[in-house]
């Protein structure tokens, strides 16, 4: 087994990774709140965890990857539930809002070629379990009820010698009293840093459930404590999310789990850094934002051309997940060029042949391939792993051009280099060559095909077999074959 090291936010240091059960990993990542279109910052975080998931699989682990959908309880600063607000705005049922944006999120994850999680639980599907956890925390003396709402008692938690603020590094006295989930009811709390785990619904609050304390809804942080425990056990291996979730979300998650079962939920906490644009936080109100669709089409004043989702994925891989990633047109253009170079080198490599038993370049090539994996083992360092792989490019090109001798790479090494390059490019980095996908350089056709396959998928979901067969037969007549796999449909000419 490789020696994997990961940066554990809880310890603020890199540690050797050792799973609880040998060969198996439980990983929980906080998913999106589905009340609006997914933004490119969210995509960066989920692509980062996709690469982490892929690399753990590459190393041979059996991974159970759980990523939730937040469909209740994540409140806005004014105390309104994000989903309810979406429902009010579009005159829809809250669950219609959830479905619409969840579908959009899934499509975007497919476009970025991310693997689906093994379980994708939704908060509203786990209200009973959340009520049970609130009760467990009350029974352990670490929560109290006030006017139908239930608050976590941070002061008592600290008095019992438990560490609140450990993950985020905040001191309890410095903690802001106004966290976003319970802004409305500051006066009900015994201590300003206490937080709501069950919230009594006001008469106009549409998402509400019966509980022993009131008709209400769970606090936002509770869902992740409950769903990670349910599917991965009381203590599991990896918990991930964007670093903006460290406080209060993850800090409170830890307190809830410790409060309910007296054990830490996760051994390793991994946090991704934020996506910036032109060096600043992406923000619609400051006219400094771009949607994924605009990035694909180029229809934005911030960029000079459209970029293929794989060029964007490559761009994301060029920075480490713990560093900020600054999206600028120049950086995107450079990434686009680099990605094409990599795709070309891959094509060339696959066409190379050797009949030599020994090769003077063998050792160097082996060192580069092993080096790329070693970089990934160093806290999933994708930029350094990519840089290693790029060391192969001049060797591949020189060999193809005859600038280095035909017997400088052995047959055996060339065969394993092809296999290993492919595994890193496809399985670990999750890339594919847009030129290859449709058998030609048809970017527009690629987009049309995605649309057609989406429509066909919708038809299949609605059991509209006539439409779905009509599309498949029509495409077959045009010489396009559609293959339905576990991870969706793909096409080829
Ligand atoms: P949300 O839908 O707001 O609950 O966020 C979903 C995930 O995206 C969380 O893990 C966030 O930390 C992450 N996220 C939000 N904004 C950004 C950003 N600008 N860059 C990277 N990740 C982000
Ligand atoms: Zn969460």
Angle, vertex CA 461, rays to CA 458 and CA 464, nearest 5: 80
Which residue among 242, 282, 322 has the greatest number of ligand 1 atoms within 8 angstroms of its CB, and so is best to mutate?
242
Any ligand 1 atom below 6 A from CB of 248: no
Instruction: Please determine, for residue 181, whether its predicted confidence score (pLDDT) is greater than 60.
Output: no
Collapsing DSSP to helix, strand or coil, 382 comes out as helix
Any ligand 1 atom below 6 A from CB of 283: no
Check residue 437 and give its pLDDT: 63
Mean pLDDT of 60-75: 93
Check residue 439 and give its pLDDT: 43
Any ligand 1 atom below 6 A from CB of 45: yes
User: Considering only CA atoms, which residue is closest to atom 8 of ligand 1?
Assistant: 42
User: Up-side HSE of residue 483: CA atoms within 13 Å toward CB?
Assistant: 9
Per residue in 3-42, pLDDT (tens digit) is 999 999 999 999 999 999 999 999 999 999 999 999 999 9
Q: Compute φ and ψ for 326, nearest 5 degrees.
A: -100, 115
User: Considering only CA atoms, which residue is closest to atom 11 of ligand 1?
Assistant: 242
Beta-bridge partners for 482:
491
Which residue among 31, 33, 36, 41 has the greatest number of ligand 1 atoms within 8 angstroms of its CB, and so is best to mutate?
41
- What is the 242 CA–ligand 1 centroid distance (Å)? 5
Instruction: Please determine, for residue 182, whether its predicted confidence score (pLDDT) is greater than 50.
Output: no
Check residue 438 and give its pLDDT: 55
Instruction: Give me the residue spans of the domains in the chain.
Output: 20-272, 323-436, 441-492
Check residue 444 and give its pLDDT: 64
Percent of the chain with pLDDT over 90: 75
What are the CA-CA distances from residue 170 to residues 285, 359, 376 (Å)? 29, 57, 31
DSSP class of residue 78?
T
User: Considering only CA atoms, which residue is closest to atom 2 of ligand 1?
Assistant: 32
Per residue in 266-322, pLDDT (tens digit) is 999 999 999 999 999 887 778 889 999 999 999 999 999 999 999 999 999 999 999
Residue 111 CA to chain centroid, in angstroms? 13
User: Up-side HSE of residue 207: CA atoms within 13 Å toward CB?
Assistant: 31
Ligand nearest to the CA of 250: 2
Percent of the chain with pLDDT over 70: 93
Instruction: Please determine, for residue 213, whether its predicted confidence score (pLDDT) is greater than 60.
Output: yes
Q: How many whole angstroms separate alpha carbon 153 and alpha carbon 285? A: 37
The CATH number corresponding to 20-272 among 3.40.50.620, 3.90.1170.50, 3.40.47.10, 3.10.180.10 equals: 3.40.50.620
Any ligand 1 atom below 6 A from CB of 274: yes
Per residue in 462-472, pLDDT (tens digit) is 888 988 888 88
- What is the 67 CA–ligand 2 centroid distance (Å)? 9
Any ligand 1 atom below 6 A from CB of 244: yes
Per residue in 347-381, pLDDT (tens digit) is 999 999 999 999 999 999 999 999 999 999 999 99
Of 14, 366, 425, which is closest to residue 4 (Cα–Cα)? Answer: 14
Residue 437 has a CB neighbour count (10 Å cut-off) of: 19
Ligand nearest to the CA of 67: 2
Burial of residue 298 (CB within 10 Å: 0-12, 13-18, 19+) is exposed
């Amino acid at each position: 087994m490789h020696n994997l090291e990961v940066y554990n936010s809880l310890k603020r240091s890199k540690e050797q990774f050792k799973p609880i059960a040998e060969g198996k990993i439980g990983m929980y990542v906080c998913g999106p709140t589905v009340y609006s279109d997914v933004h490119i910052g969210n995509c960066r975080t989920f692509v980062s965890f996709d690469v982490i998931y892929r690399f753990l699989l590459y190393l041979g682990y059996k991974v159970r990857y759980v990523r939730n959908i937040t469909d209740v309880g994540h409140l806005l600063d004014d105390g309104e539930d994000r989903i309810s607000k979406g429902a009010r705005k579009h005159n829809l049922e809250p669950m219609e809002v959830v479905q619409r944006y969840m579908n959009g999120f899934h499509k975007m994850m497919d476009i970025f070629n991310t693997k689906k999680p093994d379980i994708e639980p939704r908060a509203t599907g786990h209200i009973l379990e959340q009520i049970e956890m609130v009760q467990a925390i009350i029974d352990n003396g670490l929560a109290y009820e006030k006017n139908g709402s239930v608050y976590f008692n941070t002061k008592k938690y600290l008095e019992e010698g438990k560490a609140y603020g450990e993950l985020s590094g905040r001191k309890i006295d410095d903690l802001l009293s106004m966290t976003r989930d319970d802004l409305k009811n500051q006066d009900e709390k015994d201590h300003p840093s206490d937080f709501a785990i069950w919230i009594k619904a006001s008469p106009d609050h549409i998402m509400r459930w019966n509980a022993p304390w009131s008709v209400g809804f769970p606090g936002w942080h509770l869902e992740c404590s409950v769903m990670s425990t349910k599917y991965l056990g009381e203590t599991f291996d990896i918990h991930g999310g964007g670093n903006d979730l460290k406080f209060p979300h993850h800090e409170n998650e830890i307190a809830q789990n410790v409060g309910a079962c007296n054990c830490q939920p996760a051994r390793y906490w991994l946090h991704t850094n934020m996506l910036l644009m032109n060096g600043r936080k992406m923000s619609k109100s400051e006219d400094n934002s771009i949607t994924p669709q605009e990035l694909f089409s180029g229809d934005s004043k911030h960029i000079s051309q459209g970029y293929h989702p794989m060029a964007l994925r490559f761009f994301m891989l060029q920075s480490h997940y713990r560093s900020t990633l600054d999206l600028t047109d120049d950086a995107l253009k450079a990434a686009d060029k680099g990605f094409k170079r990599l795709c070309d080198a891959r094509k060339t490599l696959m066409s190379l042949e050797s009949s030599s038993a020994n090769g003077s370049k063998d050792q160097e090539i082996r060192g580069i391939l092993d080096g790329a994996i070693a970089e990934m083992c160093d806290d999933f360092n994708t930029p350094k792993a990519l840089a290693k792989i790029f060391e192969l490019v001049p060797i591949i090109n020189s060999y193809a051009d005859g600038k280095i001798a035909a017997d400088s790479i052995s047959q055996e090494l060339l065969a394993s280099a092809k296999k290993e390059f492919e595994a890193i490019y496809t399985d670990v980095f999750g890339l594919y060559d847009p030129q290859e996908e449709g058998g030609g350089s048809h970017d527009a056709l690629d987009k049309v095909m995605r649309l057609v396959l989406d429509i066909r998928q919708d038809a299949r979901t609605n059991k509209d077999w006539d439409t779905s067969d009509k599309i498949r037969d029509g495409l077959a007549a045009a010489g396009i074959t559609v293959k339905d796999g576990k991870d969706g449909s793909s096409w080829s000419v």
